[in-house]
C-alpha cells in the first residue's frame, strides 16, 4: 500500500454537482462565468439541489421557503449570550450554533427524503441569521429580524447592519455567494460527505464541514488576506512585505490551489468587484495594494490568486467585519455541502480509506513498573 500526501490526484467519488476541468469550474454543467453574470444565489441553490435551473414558480417557492425559515429559535439567541463573546471566533460560534440547531429540529434524526429537504431549507435559511445575529449580539446589539420582502443576499446585509442595503451592495454580495457555492470535492465538502456516509444526520455533516472550512488553508484564508493587507498598510509597502515573507518561507494567503494550474476562474470576478467597490467607497488603496501584492508574489512564484484573495477587499468594502469573511463563505458553501450530502445519501457507501503504516514493528507489552 502506498499513500498519497493530502490525497492529491485521488478521485474519491463520482458526482454530478460541480466539475473542475482544465481550470473551468461548472455547476451542473453551467460555467461559473455564465452563472456569476446571470444567476441569482437562490437560482444556484436550486440548481445544486435539483440539478437543473428552476422555473419561475419553483424559484418563487424556494425563496418563500427560505424566507419563512430564517428566524432563529430563541434558545439559539439565548445561547449566544452565554458564549465568552470577546474570545469566540465567529466560525466557532457558527459551528456550535449549527450543531445546536439540530437539537431544536424535530426532524433531525428523520432520514426520509422529505425530512432531509426540510433540513436543507432550515440550514440554508438559518445560517444567514446565525452569522448576522451573532455579529450583533457580540456588539451588544439586538438581532435584526429577517424581512420577507428581501432576497437572500439583501436579507443577510440587512440583518447584519439593520439598514436596507444599496442595490450595488446586494448585487456584489449575491455574486460573491454564487461564486462560493460549490467547488467539487474541496476539504469541507469531503468532510461533510465522510461524515454523512456513516448515515449520520445532516446537521452533523454541516457542523463537521464548518470545522474544516475554518482553517486558513481553506476558507479561513480570506480573513488572513485582509489581515495581511492591513499589515501592509499602504500600497508602496506591498513589494517589500511580500519579499520579506517569501524570504522567511512563509505562505502568502489567497494564492495557490491544489487543483487549478493556470488560475482560479472565480478570482477575476472578485478582482473586478474589488476594483468597483473600493472605488465607490473612495478606498482604492485596498484594490491597488492587492494588485501590487499579486504582481510581487507571482513574479516570484507562479501561483495565481484564488477565490479568497480579492474577496477580502470586496467584503471589506461592504463594511463587513474581517472575522465574518469565513462565516460568509459558509453561508454560501452550505448550499454545496447540502447538495453533496443529498447526493451521498442517494448512493451511499461508507468512506473508509486505509493508512500506510510506518510505525514500529510488532512489540511486546511491557508492564508499567518495568519500563
Ligand atoms: N504562498 C507561498 N508558497 C506557496 C503558496 C502560497 N500561498 N501556496 C503554495 N506554495 C508553495 C509551497 O510552499 C510549496 O512549495 P515547495 O514545493 O517549495 O515546498 C508548493 O507551493 C506546493 O504547495 P502545497 O502547500 O504543497 O500545495 P497544496 O496543493 O498542498 O496546497 C493550498 C494548496 C491552497 C493549501 C496552498 O496553495 C496554500 O496554502 N495557499 C494559501 C492558503 C489559501 O489561500 N487557501 C485558500 C485555497 S482556495 C479556497 C478554498 O479552498 O478555501
**Would the CA dihedral through 308, 311, 316, 319 be positive or negative?**
negative
Quote the cell numbers at residue 112. Answer: 426520509
Residues 6+ positions from 226 with CB-CB distance below 8 Å: 312, 313, 315, 316, 322, 325
Sheet holding 30-31, edge to edge: 18-21, 24-27, 30-31
Q: What is the C-alpha to C-alpha distance for residues 42 and 109, in angstroms, rounded to an integer?
A: 26
What's residue 104's pLDDT? 95
Q: Name the burial class of residue 140, with classes exposed (0-12), middle (13-18) and buried (19+) by CB atoms within 10 angstroms of its CB.
A: exposed
Q: Is the CB of 218 under 6 A from ligand 1?
A: yes
Tell me which of 2.40.50.1070, 2.60.120.620, 1.10.580.10, 3.40.720.10 is the CATH number of domain 30-164+182-213+325-346: 1.10.580.10
Comparing CA positions, the residue from 26, 27, 57, 54 lying closest to residue 42 is 54
pLDDT at 1: 79
Active site residue 183: no
pLDDT the model gives residue 112: 98
In the chain, residues under CATH classification 1.10.230.10 are 221-317
Stretch(es) of the chain classified as CATH 1.10.580.10: 30-164+182-213+325-346
- H or E stretch including 31? strand 30-31
pLDDT, one tens digit per residue, over 302-327 is: 999 999 999 999 999 999 999 999 99
Among 182, 308, 316, 340, the active-site one is 308
Report residues of the chain scoring pLDDT below 50. none
Structure confidence at residue 86 (pLDDT): 85
Instruction: Give pLDDT, residue 343.
Output: 98
> What is the model's pLDDT at position 270?
98
SS (H, E, C) 94-148: HHHHHHHHHHCCCCCCCCCHHHHHHHHHHHHHHHHHHHHHHHHHCCCCCCCCCCC
B/e letters for 161-196, b = 16+ CB within 10 Å, e = fewer, are beeebeeebbbbbbbbbbbbbbbbbbbbbbbbbbbb
Q: Which of 222, 245, 251 to mutate to test the pocket of ligand 1 (most atoms within 8 A of CB)?
A: 251
pLDDT at res. 307: 96
For 358, phi then psi, to 5°, come to -125, 15
Ligand 1 atom with the shortest distance to the CA of 246: 2
Identify the H or E element spanning 206: helix 202-213
Nearest alpha carbon to residue 132 among 104, 160, 163: 160
Q: Is 79 one of the catalytic residues?
A: no
- CATH architecture for residues 221-317: Orthogonal Bundle (1.10)
- Inter-residue contact 182 to 335 (CB < 8 Å): yes
**Of 218, 308, 304, residue with least CA distance to 261:** 304
The confidence score (pLDDT) of residue 36 equals 98
With a 6 A CB cut-off, is 98 part of the ligand 1 pocket?
Answer: no
Ligand 1 near 258 CB (within 6 A): yes
- The reported pTM is 0.97
- CA dist 242 and 293 (Å) reads 7
CA angle 307, 308, 314 (to 5 degrees): 100
| Nearest CA among 142, 182, 144 for reference residue 160 | 144
Among the options 257, 321, 322, 323, which is catalytic? 257
The secondary structure of 257-320, three-state, reads CCCCCCCCCCHHHHHHHHHHHHHHCCCHHHHHHHHHHHHHHHHHCCCCECHHHHHHHHHHHCCC
Ligand 1, atom nearest to 256 Cα: 37
Ligand 1 mean position to 51 CA, how many Å? 31
DSSP structural state of residue 185: B
**What is the per-residue pLDDT across 322-348, written as a single tens digit (0 to 9) for each?**
999 999 999 999 999 999 999 999 999
How much of the chain is in helix, strand and coil states, percent to nearest 5? 60, 5, 35
pLDDT on residue 269: 98
Nearest alpha carbon, ligand 1 atom 47: 218
Beta carbons within 10 angstroms of residue 279's beta carbon: 12
Amino acid at each position: 500500500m502506498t499513500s498519497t500526501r493530502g490525497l492529491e490526484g485521488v478521485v474519491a467519488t463520482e458526482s454530478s454537482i460541480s466539475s473542475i476541468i482544465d481550470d473551468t469550474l461548472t455547476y451542473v454543467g453551467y460555467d461559473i462565468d455564465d452563472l456569476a453574470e446571470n444567476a441569482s444565489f437562490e437560482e444556484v441553490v436550486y440548481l445544486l439541489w435539483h440539478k437543473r435551473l428552476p422555473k419561475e414558480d419553483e424559484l418563487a417557492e424556494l425563496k418563500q421557503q427560505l424566507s419563512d425559515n430564517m428566524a432563529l429559535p430563541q434558545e439559539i439567541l439565548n445561547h449566544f449570550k452565554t458564549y465568552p463573546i470577546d474570545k469566540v471566533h465567529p466560525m466557532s460560534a457558527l459551528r456550535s450554533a449549527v450543531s445546536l440547531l439540530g437539537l431544536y429540529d424535530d426532524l433531525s434524526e428523520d432520514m426520509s427524503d422529505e425530512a432531509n429537504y426540510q433540513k436543507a431549507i432550515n440550514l440554508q435559511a438559518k445560517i444567514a441569521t446565525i452569522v448576522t445575529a451573532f455579529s450583533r449580539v457580540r456588539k451588544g446589539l439586538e438581532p435584526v429580524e429577517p424581512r420577507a420582502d428581501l432576497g437572500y443576499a439583501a436579507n443577510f446585509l440587512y440583518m447584519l447592519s439593520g439598514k436596507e442595503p444599496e442595490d450595488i451592495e446586494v448585487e456584489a454580495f449575491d455574486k460573491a455567494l454564487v461564486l462560493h457555492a460549490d467547488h467539487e470535492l474541496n476539504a469541507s465538502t469531503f468532510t461533510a460527505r465522510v461524515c454523512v456516509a456513516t448515515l449520520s444526520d445532516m446537521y452533523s455533516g454541516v457542523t463537521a464541514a464548518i470545522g474544516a472550512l475554518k482553517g486558513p488553508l481553506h476558507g479561513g484564508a480570506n480573513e488572513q488576506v485582509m489581515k495581511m493587507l492591513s499589515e501592509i498598510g499602504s500600497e508602496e509597502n506591498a513589494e517589500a512585505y511580500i519579499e520579506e515573507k517569501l524570504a522567511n518561507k512563509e505562505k502568502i494567503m489567497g494564492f495557490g490551489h491544489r487543483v487549478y494550474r493556470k488560475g482560479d476562474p472565480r478570482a477575476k470576478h472578485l478582482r473586478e468587484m474589488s476594483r468597483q467597490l473600493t472605488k465607490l467607497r473612495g478606498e482604492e488603496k485596498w484594490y491597488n495594494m492587492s494588485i501590487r501584492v499579486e504582481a510581487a508574489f507571482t513574479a516570484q512564484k507562479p501561483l495565481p490568486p484564488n477565490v479568497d484573495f480579492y474577496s477580502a477587499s470586496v467584503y471589506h468594502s461592504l463594511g463587513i467585519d474581517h472575522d465574518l469573511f469565513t462565516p460568509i463563505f459558509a453561508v454560501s458553501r452550505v448550499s454545496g455541502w447540502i447538495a453533496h450530502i443529498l447526493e451521498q445519501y442517494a448512493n451511499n457507501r461508507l468512506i473508509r480509506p486505509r493508512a500506510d503504516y510506518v510505525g514500529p514493528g510488532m512489540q511486546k507489552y511491557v508492564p508499567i513498573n518495568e519500563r
